[in-house]
Amino acid sequence: MAAAPVWSVDPRTGKQREQVAVEATAQEVDAAVRAAHRARGALADRTVRSALLRSAADELEAAKSTLVEVADAETALGPVRLTGELARTCYQLRAFADIVDEGAFLDVVIDHPDDTATPPVPDLRRYKVPLGVVAVYSASNFPFAFSVPGGDTASALAAGCPVVVKAHPDHPGLSELVAKVLRRAAARHGVPEGVLGLVHGFEAGVELVRHPLVAAAGFTGSVRGGRALFDAAAARPVPIPFHGELGSLNPVLVTEAAAAERAEAIGAGLAGSMTLGVGQFCVKPGLVLAPAGAAGDRLVKSLTDAVSDTDAGVLLDHRMRDHFVAGVAERAQLPDVESPVTPGAGGEHTVSAGFLTVPASRLAAEGEHDLLLEECFGPVTVVVRYEDDAEVRTVLSRLPGNLTATVHLSEEEAAGEGRGAEILGELTPLAGRVLVNAWPTGVAVAPAQHHGGPYPATTSTSTSVGGTAIERWLRPVAYQNSPQALLPQELRDDNPLGLPRRFNGVLER
C-alpha cells in the first residue's frame, strides 16, 4: 500500500498547492529516531551546541524571504506577522545559545564531606544531563516560533537533546524547508543531519511518542490530540515526560471601578487582543467578566464598535473554520446568550469576528452553559456580566486551568486600595501568568517568562517560552565519593569550565 501523500494547501482557497512529502511509515519513524539517537554525542560539547543554535538563526535569516513566502501561502497569516515571528524565533535560538554558554542551567552543586552534620554528609556533586531524543509536535498557529525551529526544538538542542519533529499538516512545505535550513546549520559544525528529524502524518506522531528511544515530548495543540498523546506517553512500558500545551480560556476580570474609569479603552483593547491573528493566539482572552451596570454597558458598546470594524479573516485551515462556525452557533443558541456582534462565517473561506454576552448567574452551576467555559479557537470572546463580587468568585471557581489570567483595575485599586491584591490571589491558582492592566496576547521571550499553567492549559508545571524551558529536557545526577579524576569536568573542584555553581553552600559566579 502506497504511503499517503502530504499536500500543501492554500487556506485562502482551500485548494492543494503541491505535494511536499508522504506520511512516514513506522519504519521511517524508527529510522529518524535512531538517527537522532546516534547524533547525541555530537551535542555533548556545549560550545558546539551554542554555535549550532547561532548558525541556525543565521541560516533562517538568510532564507527569510523564501520562508516567509511559503509560510504565508500555507497559513494566510500575512508577511508582516510572519516576518516578526521569524525574527522572534531567531532571537530565541540566540537566547538559548547564551544560556548554553553561561552554563547556569546545569545547576552544579558541590558539597564536601561534613562529619559534623546529622547525619554526616559524604562528598556529593550534582548537575543535570540531557534526557535523550525529544519528540516535538508542531503547532498550527505559529509556523516558526512553535514549529520546526521553535522553542521546543531550540531548548532541546540547547539541553543537548536531538529532536524529531512531527510536522503540522497546515504547513508541511515550510516544515520541509526549515528542516533543511537547520540541517545546513548543523553541518557547519560537524553535527550529523539526524540531529533534526522530521516526519509527517497522524500515525507517525503516535509511533513517535511510543518509540522506546524517545525520552521526552513537547506538544502544542488541541486538548483532544494532546491528551491522546499524553496518555500514550504515560502508557508506555517506560513512561516519559510529556510537556503538552492543550488549550486555554485566558479569563479577564474587569472590576467595576476600572470600567467606570476607562470602559472605552478597555473595550477597544479587548477587541484588539481577541481578534489579533484572527483570534488564533493560544493566549486570546476567551472569557471576560465585566460589571452588569452602566460602566459595563459602556465597555460592551466600545467592544461592539471596535469588533464591528474588524475585517473578516482566514483561519489556518478549513477544518478549523468549520469548527469555529459550528462552535459559535452552538454557544449563541444557549438561553440568555446574546450576540451584540455575531461571529461566524464571513464568506466562503473566511470568518467574521464577534462576541457573546451572558449573565454570570448562568455559569453559577453545572449545566448546558458550561460550553462557554471551553476554548473556541478563532475571533470570539464571551463577556460574562456580573452583579457583584460573589458572582465573580463563583465563576472563577468553575474555571479550568489557563495559560493566563488578567485583571483590569482602577488607579486606586492598582495602588493598593480595595480588592486588588485579593483578586490577584484569586487569579493565581488559575494560570501560569497573571497580568494587571494589560492584555495576554504577546508572550515575551525573557528569562522570567512562564508560558504554561494548570491542566488543561498544560500537562506539566513547566514553561515552553523563556530560558527555563530548557529544564524540561534535563535530569539531575549526583555522584557520591567519586575520585576527582573520574568526575565530569563540570563537577571538579578546580572548575575548569568556569561554570556558575554552588560550592559548599556558597553561590559562585
Query: pLDDT tens for residues 234-250?
Result: 999 999 999 999 999 99
Q: Total structural domains in the chain?
A: 2
Confirm whether 478 is domain-assigned: no
Confirm whether 410 is domain-assigned: yes
Cα–Cα distance between 310 and 278 in angstroms, integer? 10
Q: Are residues 220 and 294 in the same domain?
A: no
Summarised one tens digit per residue, pLDDT across range 101-158 is 999 999 999 999 999 999 999 999 999 999 999 999 999 999 999 999 999 999 999 9
Q: Are residues 131 and 256 in the same domain?
A: no
Cα–Cα distance between 41 and 302 in angstroms, integer? 58
The answer to whether 228 and 219 are in contact (CB under 8 A) is no
Summarised one tens digit per residue, pLDDT across range 169-211 is 999 999 999 999 999 999 999 999 999 999 999 999 999 999 9
Alpha helix (H) residue ranges in 76-130: 79-102
Distance of CA 15 to the CA centre of its chain: 29
Beta-bridged to residue 380, according to DSSP, are 354
CB atoms < 10 A from the CB of 367, how many? 11
* pLDDT for the residue numbered 1: 56
In the residue annotation, 282 being an active-site residue is answered as yes
Q: Are residues 100 and 207 in the same domain?
A: yes
Distance of CA 65 to the CA centre of its chain: 25
Q: Are residues 161 and 232 in the same domain?
A: yes
Cα–Cα distance between 68 and 224 in angstroms, integer? 30
Confirm whether 450 is domain-assigned: no
* pLDDT for the residue numbered 418: 87
* pLDDT for the residue numbered 497: 96
Please identify which residue in the block is written with the cell numbers 532571537.
Answer: 91
Q: What is the pTM of this model?
A: 0.96
Looking up residue 383, the CATH number of its domain turns out to be 3.40.309.10
Confirm whether 395 is domain-assigned: yes
Torsion of CA 153, 158, 161, 167, to 10 degrees: 10
Task: Given the residues 207, 245, 256, 391, select the one marked as catalytic.
Answer: 245
Task: Label residue 100 left, alpha or beta by phi (over 0 means left) and psi (-120 to 50 means alpha).
Answer: alpha
Q: Are residues 387 and 410 in the same domain?
A: yes
Q: Are residues 188 and 265 in the same domain?
A: no
Q: Are residues 352 and 212 in the same domain?
A: no
Beta-bridged to residue 6, according to DSSP, are 21
Confirm whether 422 is domain-assigned: yes
Written as one string, the DSSP assignment of 355-380 is: EEEEEGGGGSSSSGGGGGGS---SSE
Confirm whether 508 is domain-assigned: no
Per-residue model confidence as pLDDT tens for the chain (509 residues): 568 999 999 999 999 999 999 999 999 999 999 999 999 999 999 999 999 999 999 999 999 999 999 999 999 999 999 999 999 999 999 999 999 999 999 999 999 999 999 999 999 999 999 999 999 999 999 999 999 999 999 999 999 999 999 999 999 999 999 999 999 999 999 999 999 999 999 999 999 999 999 999 999 999 999 999 999 999 999 999 999 999 999 999 999 999 999 999 999 999 999 999 999 999 999 999 999 999 999 999 999 999 999 999 999 999 999 999 999 999 999 999 999 999 999 888 999 999 999 999 999 999 999 999 999 999 999 999 999 999 999 999 999 999 999 999 999 999 998 899 999 999 999 999 999 999 999 999 999 999 999 999 999 999 999 999 999 999 999 999 999 999 999 999 999 999 999 999 999 98
Amino acid 425 reads G
Q: Residue 473, class by beta-carbon neighbours within 10 Å (0-12 exposed, 13-18 middle, 19+ buried)?
A: buried
Confirm whether 190 is domain-assigned: yes
Identify whether 212 is preceded by a cis peptide bond (ω within 30 of 0): no
Identify whether 456 is preceded by a cis peptide bond (ω within 30 of 0): yes
Sorted by sequence, the CB contacts under 8 Å of residue 319 that are 6+ apart come out as: none
Q: 3-state DSSP call for residue 291? A: strand
- Which residue range is the domain that position 418 belongs to? 251-436
Q: Are residues 93 and 218 in the same domain?
A: yes
Q: Are residues 338 and 423 in the same domain?
A: yes
Task: Label residue 324 left, alpha or beta by phi (over 0 means left) and psi (-120 to 50 means alpha).
Answer: alpha
Q: Are residues 139 and 218 in the same domain?
A: yes
The answer to whether 138 and 150 are in contact (CB under 8 A) is yes
Please identify which residue in the block is written with the cell numbers 499524553.
Answer: 230
Task: Given the residues 85, 90, 207, 282, select the one marked as catalytic.
Answer: 282
* pLDDT for the residue numbered 347: 86
Q: Are residues 465 and 418 in the same domain?
A: no
Confirm whether 9 is domain-assigned: no
In the residue annotation, 245 being an active-site residue is answered as yes
Q: Are residues 218 and 344 in the same domain?
A: no
List phi, psi (to 5°) of 189: -120, 20
Of 112, 147, 22, the closest CA to residue 492 belongs to: 112
Looking up residue 75, the CATH number of its domain turns out to be 3.40.605.10
